[in-house]
Amino acid sequence: MCLGIPGKVVETWQQHHILMGRVDFGGVFKQVCLEHVAEAQPGSYVIVHAGFGLSVVDEDEARQIFAFLEQMDELEELQEAEQRTAAAEVKAAEAKAVDSPEPPGDEGQPA
């Protein structure tokens, strides 16, 4: 089953001639392709699935959907996915630091 999540557009920009945006899903922020909902502006609410904006909805409808998802515990999955992404980013940064350590004796020295 596919599930679209409502979110509030915080900012928009063009990336390679494609409309992109930063969308707030109740405190979880994601980058979203808004090309299919070009009318979306900061402050608009959009339904998002798999990183793509599918439709613009009004604030009341977005709140109703969000409340329903909270009752169904579906938002927990979104928050867990955000935590997994953050953990993976930290792990990748740590691996990069291990792969390219500073030369001995240069710690703390300005470049």
Provide the H-helix boundaries in the chain: 59-71, 74-99
Say if residue 43's pLDDT is above 90.
yes
Residue 46 — very low, low, confident or very high, per pLDDT cuts 50/70/90?
very high
Q: How far apart are CA 107 and CA 40, in angstroms?
A: 48
10 Å Cβ neighbour count for 62? 19
What DSSP character marks residue 40? -
5-98 CATH:
2.30.30.140
53-107 tens-digit pLDDT: 999 999 999 999 888 877 777 556 666 666 666 667 667 766 766 665 555 555 5
Closest to 4 (Cα-Cα) out of 67, 69, 68, 48: 48
Domain-wise residue ranges, the chain: 5-98
Tell me what pLDDT residue 85 has. Answer: 67
10 Å Cβ neighbour count for 86? 10
